[in-house]
Amino acid sequence: MTMPSLGGISQAQLRELLNEMGQPAYRAEQIRLHAWRGSALGFGKMENLPARLRTQLHSRLSWSSLQPVDSTVADRGLTEKLLLRATDGQEVEAVMIRHEGSPASRPRRTVCVSSQVGCAIGCSFCATGQLGLRRNLEAGEITDQVLEAARRWGASGLGQPTNVVYMGMGEPLQNYSAVVSSIRLLQEWGVAPRRVVVSTSGLVPEIDRLAAEGLPVRLAISLHATSDEVRDRLVPLNRRYPIEDLLAAGLRFTARTGRRVSLEYVLIAGVNDSSQDAEGLRRLAAQLHGHVNLIPMNKIPGSQLAAPPLDRCRAFAAMVGPRATMRISRGDRATAACGQLRAAMEADRRRLERTALRLAASSP
């Protein structure tokens, strides 16, 4: 049986475990501060804890359910992609994004987390969808992505995560219970739900369920089209929950939570980037009273789909109006957006395997 990770248990559960070990409750706060601030890289490195307790912790808890496999830095060090391996060998991605702030905004440290290994939705423009769904992540595996980022930033003196977005691999609301549990766990670590964004491709019943949780998270709807005909092709889930039903669920979410709903719109040349699409998106955003994030499509090897030229993207944003912001994917520049890093690593492994087979076949 796999041991739970430190990030996968609540503070109350940690105190209970310490009580079983004959340790005072205040040790829980010491342990969590070490893990969150990057001042230790394992239980054995927590030198202000008794040696016996460190040994006990090592035998009862894992430091993390995920181990770093690869990382790459982009944007002058502001973006770092992580490839993380679970105990069963499956790999997921997380992206660490720092915003330096401005006179009008505070600095932010955002972690983009995965909720599944792969994805079952099958969006035609997403690299993760090409993997299919391997399995759901456990709540602790989601939380441990944020803790890994916290330790890296903390050890570098940059501070801890301020924001978390569920926009990595997978459809968060298809892994509903684990995602909600991870949000509650992260709240104990210091990430307020108001600083959490949950993205969904359109699971209407789960949107209503999330609205009733009492968690003031923000919701981002991955729209990507302004007509059901086009969205049926881009996001197959639309055949079950068409645009009208999806926007109605977004309005109910805002009414219940008081939190703004945003629209995510990946721009694809010749598919959803016409002036008619821009006008339709402007109307839908006004209907939802929401903001629009326009994202030029990330490159996917082997796909005929591509982003429009940058000037076309800017013109589209201008037509949508002040509700729209164009977001150049920083994860894409780090080859970590929407499953790109994992797909690239798998492609490298397959090439190595083919090379090894060829060498074996040619050897005497």
d(CA 152, CA 86): 18
Q: What angle do CA 213, 216, 217 make, to 5 degrees?
A: 95
Exposed (0-12), middle (13-18) or buried (19+): which is 360, by Cβ within 10 Å? exposed
| For range 145-164, the mean pLDDT | 94
C-alpha dihedral, 165 to 170 to 171 to 174, nearest 10°: -120
> Residues 4, 138: contact at Cβ < 8 Å?
no
Beta-carbon contacts of 140 under 8 Å, excluding residues fewer than 6 positions away, are 4, 5, 7, 8, 9, 65, 182, 185
pLDDT in tens, 200-211: 999 999 999 999
Distance of alpha carbon 56 from alpha carbon 31, whole angstroms: 13
User: What angle in degrees, to the nearest 10, is found between the helix axes of 275-288 and 310-320?
Assistant: 40
In percent, the amount of the chain with pLDDT more than 90 equals: 74
Give the pLDDT confidence score for residue 361 in this predicted structure: 57
Instruction: Give CA separation, 185 vs 9, 18, 141, in Å.
Output: 7, 18, 11
pLDDT band at residue 338 under the 50/70/90 scheme: very low
The residues near 245 (Cβ < 8 Å, ≥ 6 apart) are 204
Domain coordinates in residue numbering, the chain: 6-60, 66-348
Give the pLDDT confidence score for residue 132 in this predicted structure. Answer: 87
Over residues 159-179, the mean pLDDT reads 97
* Residue 160, amino acid: Q
Span 244-255, average pLDDT: 98
d(CA 293, CA 296): 10
pLDDT for 292 equals 97
CATH node for 6-60: 1.10.150.530
Catalytic one of 112, 123, 126, 338: 338
What pLDDT band is residue 340 in, cutting at 50, 70 and 90?
very low
Does 228 score more than 60 pLDDT?
yes
Q: What's the confidence (pLDDT) of residue 129?
A: 73
Which is the catalytic residue, given 91, 93, 148, 206? 93
Amino acid identity at 99 = H
The reply to whether 244 belongs to the active site is: no
Q: What distance in Å separates the CA atoms of residue 193 and residue 206, rounded to the nearest whole number?
A: 17
Please report which confidence band the pLDDT of residue 234 belongs to, taking 50, 70 and 90 as the band edges.
very high
The pLDDT value recorded for residue 329 is: 56
Spatial separation of the C-alpha atoms in residues 302 and 285, rounded to whole Å: 32
Answer with the residue of higher pLDDT: 57 or 39: 57
The predicted pLDDT at position 128 comes to 78
| pLDDT tens-place string over residues 295-333 | 999 888 778 899 999 999 999 999 999 999 998 655 445
The reported pLDDT for the residue numbered 353 is 45
For CA atoms 209, 212, 216, 218, the dihedral sign is positive
Tell which wins on pLDDT, 304 or 18. Answer: 18
Percentage of the residues of the chain whose pLDDT score is greater than 70: 90
| Among 195, 153, 165, residue whose Cα is nearest residue 329 | 165
**Please, are residues 121 and 236 in contact by the beta-carbon 8 Å criterion?**
yes
pLDDT confidence of 363, banded at 50, 70, 90?
low
Per the CATH hierarchy, to which homologous superfamily does domain 66-348 belong? Aldolase class I (3.20.20.70)
Per-residue pLDDT at 177 exceeds 70? yes
Residue-wise pLDDT tens digits, 73-103: 888 889 999 999 999 999 999 999 998 877 7
What is the longest distance spanned by two Cα atoms in the chain? Answer: 72
Strands 91-99 and 108-112: antiparallel
334 has a pLDDT exceeding 50:
no
pLDDT at residue 16 above 90?
A: yes
Intrachain domains 6-60 and 66-348 with the same fold: no
Computed over its alpha carbons, how large is the radius of gyration of the chain?
22
DSSP letter for each residue of 19-44: HHTT--THHHHHHHHHHHHTS-SSGG
CA distance 289 to 54: 52
Q: Is the pLDDT of residue 264 over 50?
A: yes
pLDDT score at 352: 45
Q: What is the pLDDT of residue 237?
A: 96
Across 128-155, average pLDDT: 93
* Predicted pLDDT at 233: 94
> How far apart, in whole angstroms, are the C-alpha atoms of residue 4 and residue 200?
28
pLDDT of residue 134: 94
Catalytic residue at 346? no
